[in-house]
Amino acid sequence: MTGLDTNILVRAFIEDDASQTAAARRTLESFNEREPGFISLVTLAETVWVLDNVYRLPTSKLLDLVEGLLQAESLVVQNADEVYKAVRTVQAGAGKFADALIAELGQWAGCTATLTFDRRAARLPGMALLQSGA
């Protein structure tokens, strides 16, 4: 198995450097079920963040990309079940992908709650707002 960094995935999806895009796509196409590529949670979260905040892809497109990675038989996504649940949460309009993934991973780890100062994130299942006392 071969791990993939954020910039490989970004280049595969964004065509702003023809040479790197071609190399990234060739690499992704070279994987198979016996020799898959590995996408860590950090890589996935960074990829979504970059595509959202730098390239301004719409949420629906971001979620389609994540679902495509999850469905690819030639790729292994770390904590795929939690990633899938986070996608469903965002599709339901409940928050941003990173927040939904943090909430899902907290539940997966057995946390009674994941604390946050972010009021919107605190509305997600498994999250709780930490009051600052101000």
pLDDT value at position 95? 86
pLDDT value at position 133? 72
pLDDT value at position 44? 97
- Tell me, letter by letter, the H, E, C secondary structure of the chain: CEECCHHHHHHHHCCCCHHHHHHHHHHHHHCCCCCCEEECHHHHHHHHHHHHHCCCCCHHHHHHHHHHHHHCCCEEECCHHHHHHHHHHHHCCCCCHHHHHHHHHHHHCCCCCEEECCCCHHHCCCEEECCCCC
pLDDT value at position 94? 82
**Residue extents of the structural domains in the chain:** 2-78
pLDDT mean values, one per 10 residues, the chain (134 residues): 97 94 97 98 97 95 97 97 96 92 96 95 94 76
pLDDT value at position 132? 83
pLDDT value at position 17? 93
Predicted model pTM: 0.91
